[in-house]
Structure 1
Amino acid sequence: MRRNNVRGPTSALTEYLKASGIRARHINRRGSNLNRGQNEQNGDGDAPDAGPSNSREAGDEAEDGEAGEEPSATRTNATRRRASGYNSDELDASEGDEEPEKTGNKRKGSKPAVAQQKAKEKEKAKAKKKVKKGDDEDEDGEEEDVYHALSKSLWSGSGSSKPPVGSFENCAKCEKQFTVTKYTMVANPGPGFLCHPCAKASGTDPFKKPAAPRKKRPTEKRAVVSFEERKFPTLASMCIDLITKHIDDVEALGDIGTLNAQAISKALSRNRKLTSEHATLFYHVSNTSLTFHDTTDLAPAALSTLARLNPNLTHLHLDYCGQLNNAAFDTFTDSLPHLTHLILLGPFLVHTENWQRFFSTHPSLECFQITQSPRFDLACIKALVRHCGASLTELRLKQVGKLDDACLNELAKLGEWQKLRMLDLSEPSASCSDEAMIELMGAIGRELRVLNLSKHNLLTDTFLEDGLGRHVSQLERLSLNHIPELTDDGVESFFTDWANPPLVEIDLSRNHELGSKALPSLLKHSGKMLEILNINSWKEVSEDALNEIAAYGRELRKLDVGWCRQVDNFVVKAWLDGNPDHEGWTGCPKLTELKIWGCNRITAACPRKKGLSIYGVESQEVII
């Protein structure tokens, strides 16, 4: 009878040992040696050997004429086999099973029991043949005795492999034989292994569980608080929000007006909901200006439709227009002949030839501003200067990867017409040199009102003195952030000697060398007219220099002093309320936005006032 692939009276453990090449005679021999050694130690030299551990040995004894042994002797042998721990024939039997009575070699019972006994005897014979065949292979030396073979897995710290679990080894310290378990430890010094008592005596408990890893104490996160002035929404803004939620039905409203249409398009762009279907709501043949702040979802075909349905556009502003390819841009060239102002953010796919064709067909272009255009090169700048230089007043080439000194030399030709008012050449891939930038300022700087040269990290104090100081005299807004070569002394000298009128906006952030000399000189030059000031990351500026903002900031609207280490509650109070100890220090009454990120001396008790939004108050205090 076959049950779970276990044949005859053999158990699952016997089948597993047989499949692993472990023979019963080896186990029997080791068990006999172990019992003999224990009997000798106890003084009992007449103790019988351990009995067989499987059905093959039992069958051999029955064939040798030992089957007539009394049941008591059989039970005694079975008890000895159980005591030795190797009686695998009884592993599958339950505790309540009782052996049937025997008379000789015959079992008394019903016919089914006799039939089962015959089937078991047949299985015994088959198993005996297989075992004999295996023994022959062992005698010929063709099959390795797997039981005595070492495991292939190495054990860290030992010179040899760890023996299999369940095998016997002699302790390297007390030389007593013991059974190898998964807790067996290597002798130190080796070679060999230790029994459990010797391992404990050495000071290491093999059964001790590893200590649980210590939990990290939760770090307290700083609460960043912003005191923002919130105003009640107007009726128009509430209507615009309602319309954006139901934009699919907005056609039922009819004409909603140009200003409202711009506000709705801005709200849609903010929520990334401007699609090809919604965009058509803002198209009209009479449109002269169109602004979309997010055209991410407008495919090239939709952008071509924009140009065809708004043929009279003069001002076009598209942000995130990454899908504007050559075909769509050629539609702009052909369908928008009156275009004079073009502002694009992210026109990555437009090629050099298409840019040049556009410039050749729009000689009246007054404003050309692009950001992030890696294909815009020297040939495009030459075409721009040649065809549009006479009318160009605003130029932005921000994050243009191919901008270099050769491009600046070409742009210097715009000085022939002296019409350029705004120039933004910020954030190039590689900075231009002092010499090229000074030459450009000498050509076009006379009429400049807005200048942004941020992240030209090769510019130095020489550019300030010989470029801006000598050639620029009508500037209103200046951005020179991320220029590490500027020094505190150089900037102080520049603002002290510069003949330019006071600036309205100054951005000198992320210039870590600037500090207590540059700020007072800047305030004396432009403080009375300054509306926007950004000195973020001026980490060494002193408290006294910061307090001087209260003396010159009467027109200041926006102030960014992030990461200035000396800013604290008292400095902020001086800006808001003035300083009574100094006559004329009236503070900044028009201040509406204050950014103090990274100013760790600011607490939750930071002074506030109506109409002022403060961003970046970092404090561990709980504000209720």
Structure 2
Amino acid sequence: MWKGDLPKPPVGSFEKCAKCKMQFTVTKYTLAANPPPGWLCHPCAKAGGSDPFKNPAAPRKRKAPADKRVVVYFEEKKFPTLVSLCIDLIGTFIDDVEALGDIGNLNLDEIAKTISKSRRLTAQNAPLFYDVQNTRLCLYDVTKLEPPALIAMANLNPNLTDLRLDYCGHMNDEVLAHWQTAFPNLKRLELLGPFLVKAPAWRDFLKAHPSLEGFLIIQSPRFDLECVRTLVENCKGLKELRLSEIGLMEDSFLEPLKKLSGTLTSLEIPKPGSATNPDPLSEAALIDLIAAVGESLTHLDLSFNNDISDQFLYKALKPHVRRLISLRLQGCSELTNAGVAEFFDTWVAAAQKSMKEPNPPLEVVDLSRSHQLGTDALFALLDHSGPALRDLNINEWKGASQDSLQTIAARAPNLRTLDVGFCRETDDWVIKSLLESCQMLSEVKVWGCQRLTVGCPRKRGVNIIGVEAGQLVS
């Protein structure tokens, strides 16, 4: 409303200015006199300090808070080689390539990885990787290869002994039935995601390939107990076994595997069960299995078996393994700092006391995501296996002290990869000691290490991944 709650005269009407008493025409810009009553002509309104033609000020917008952190990533950016540039170019125009020629298996594998990153492998360009003389074939993303293409693969590569297919979600019973006769020389099969294959098809395939030495599958929800029995009964020379993320997994699956004693060198049973069948494997069943097959094992992966505790170390690994060089127990949250420390401290002595050959130092250790582990466990691990360690993952060892982390450099000089992510005491001095002492180091992961700064040391040829150096913006 206008001053004094008087209605404004209609636009175009005549009024007398309350100040100069001159008659003027009312417009939409006419202002009320202050103090009222009456109205002001434009000159008098402007003389009084009010500009009737001035646009109202726009409401002031609140500025969004600026990011006050500078995130710095210390990752080695290598200048691309001519070979890598050619591989990238081929990957970009893979659909226009008629033949790859004799470029060597290493370069062929790099091209396969390059086109898999963008899921460009199709039924039309996949034959570029086929050859009747092939004995090994690795394709890292076959999402777009449907059953006819997977059948054609077998027809064009009849002499394969080693086959790896990732993301093979279109594989079905028809494909596996064709492979029974199409791959007579197959020794090793590695599949990721054969969701559609049913149990009878698995059994028929395993019966047709008694010479299998490696059977590695991930995410096959229909692989059941009868399939395991068929595998063990027919493939008596099996050396590598991976049953990862098998939804039907339970303790009864482990009983037939005991018959592989003496031949099995690599065993992987990570992430067993499903949402409706969580934590299906008991610690007692796993201990019995290792007691049977542990003596010949060189690689063991039982990650995310949540029932594993310190007892597994004492009753399974300590008395029964003699050749193990790679151990992965990721996400076993029941392991304790004192228990792991005692295990590594007494492992050699326990073997000598029982007049047995002690297990050699470990080369690959992954005990990540075990939040109870810390300083004592790290010191004991380094005392036992330090000089032999090549790959070490202690992600989320929140209790590891700065002194123990700095000791890694001195006691494990042959490290190639290291993950100390979310180890709270990791700082610039820890990284500095690693870069100075570990001459073979190529990668360090430091996600969540908040004590690292912008001045974090660097070294040519070493990727330091995950540095988030907080720096206030002036």
Same fold (TM over 0.5): yes
| TM-score tier after normalising by the smaller chain length | 0.7 to 0.9
- Say which of 548, 553, 557 aligns to 2:407: 548
> Structure 1's 455 and 214: CA in aligned 2 closer, same or farther, altered over 3 A?
farther
Kindly tell me the number of residue pairs found equivalent between the two proteins.
406
User: Structure 2 stretches of 5 or more lacking a match?
Assistant: 1-5, 14-58, 349-358
- 1:379 matched to 2:226? The reply is yes
Alignment match of 1:282 (pick from 109, 122, 129):
129
Question: Which residue of structure 2 aligns with residue 107 of structure 1?
Answer: none
Alpha-carbon offset, residue 323 of structure 1: 0.5
Residue pairs, 1:487-502, within 5 angstroms: 487-499=336-348, 500-502=359-361
2:242 maps to which residue? 396
Mapped partners of 1:549, 1:259: distance in 2: 34
Q: Secondary structure at the match of 1:617?
A: coil
Distance 2:412 2:321 in 1: 24
RMSD: 2.3
1:58 aligned partner: none
Deviations 1:569-593 (A, max 9, x none): 122222223xxxxxxxxx3222211
Which of 282, 287, 296 is equivalent to 1:438?
287
Q: 1:341: which partner in 2? A: 188
User: Which runs of 4 or more aligned residues in structure 1 lie more than 3 Å from their structure 2 counterparts after TM superposition?
Assistant: 93-96, 212-217, 221-224, 252-260
User: Residue 387 of structure 2: SS of its match in structure 1?
Assistant: coil
CA contact (8 A) 1:224 1:616 kept: no
Q: Does 2:461 align with 1:611? A: yes
In 2, the alpha carbon distance for the partners of 1:94 and 1:597 equals 69
1:262 aligns with 2:106: no
1:123 alignment partner in structure 2: none
Query: What is the aligned counterpart of 1:420 among 241, 245, 264?
Result: 264
Residue identity matched to 2:242:
R
**Offset of 1:614 from its aligned partner?**
0.6
- Aligned-residue offset at 1:94: 11
Cα 1:252–1:611 shift into 2, 3 Å: closer
Show CA shifts across 1:140-190 (max 9, x none).
xxxxxxxxxxxxxxxxxxxxxxxxxxxxxxxxxxxxxxxxxxxxxxxxxxx
Given the two structures, how large is their TM-score scaled by the length of structure 1?
Answer: 0.62
Indicate the SS of the match to 1:465: helix
For residues 496 and 214 of structure 1, the distance between their equivalents in structure 2, rounded to whole angstroms, comes to: 64
After TM superposition, give the deviation of residue 263 of structure 1 in Å. Answer: 2.5
Greater shift, 266-275 or 370-379, is seen at 266-275
Asked if structure 2 preserves the Cα contact closer than 8 Å seen for 1:225 and 1:615, the reply is: no
Paired residue for 1:449?
298
Query: Does the CA-based 8 Å contact 1:289-1:313 persist in structure 2?
Result: yes
Instruction: Report % sequence identity.
Output: 49
Where relative contact order (Cα < 8 A, 6+ residues apart) is larger, the structure is 2
Cα drift, residue 509 of structure 1: 0.5
Cα deviation code 1:318-357 (max 9, x no counterpart): 0000000111121112211111110000000000000000
- For each residue in 1:433-469, what CA deviation from the matched residue of structure 2 results, as whole angstroms up to 9, or x when unmatched? 1211111011000010000000001111111001001
Question: What are the residue-to-residue correspondences of 1:567-586 with 2, within 5 Å?
Answer: 567-577=426-436
CA positional deviation for 1:268: 1.2
The match for 1:302 is: 149
AA aligned opposite 1:231: K
- Using the TM superposition, name which of 246-255 and 280-289 deviates more: 246-255
Question: What does residue range 188-203 of structure 1 map to in structure 2 within 5 Å?
Answer: none
Aligned residue in 2 for 1:365:
212
The corresponding residue for 1:330 is: 177
Per the alignment, in what secondary structure is the counterpart of residue 396 of structure 1? strand
* Distance (whole Å) between structure 2 residues aligned to residue 331 and residue 551 of structure 1: 55
How big is the shift at 1:242?
2.1
1:597 corresponding residue in structure 2: 447
**Which amino acid counterpart does residue 266 of structure 2 have in structure 1?**
M
3-state SS, counterpart of residue 323 of structure 1:
coil
Tell me the CA shift for residue 255 of structure 1. Answer: 4.4
SS in 2 for 1:619: coil
Q: Distance in 1 between matches of 2:100 and 2:240?
A: 38
Q: Aligned AA for 1:553?
A: A
Instruction: Check the 8 A contact 1:226/1:613 in 2, yes or no.
Output: no
- Return the alpha-carbon distance in structure 2 between the equivalents of residues 231 and 288 of structure 1: 33
- Unpaired segments ≥5 residues, structure 1: 1-82, 84-92, 97-211, 578-586
Residues 593 and 612 of structure 1 are in contact (CA less than 8 Å); yes or no, is this contact kept in structure 2? yes
- Structure with the higher helix share, 1 or 2: 1
Pick closer, same or farther for the CA change 1:428–1:300 going to 2, 3 Å: same
Alignment partners' CA distance in 1, 2:240 and 2:159: 21
Q: How far has the Cα of 1:507 moved from its partner?
A: 0.4
Change in 2 beyond 3 A, CA 1:517/1:219: farther
What is the letter of the counterpart of residue 256 of structure 2? E
Q: Which amino acid aligns with 2:467?
A: V
1:314 alignment partner in structure 2:
161
What amino acid does structure 1 have at the position aligned with 2:72? V
Q: Provide the rounded CA distance (Å) in 1 between the counterparts of 2:385 and 2:207.
A: 41
Look up the equivalent residue of 2:444 and give its one-letter code: L
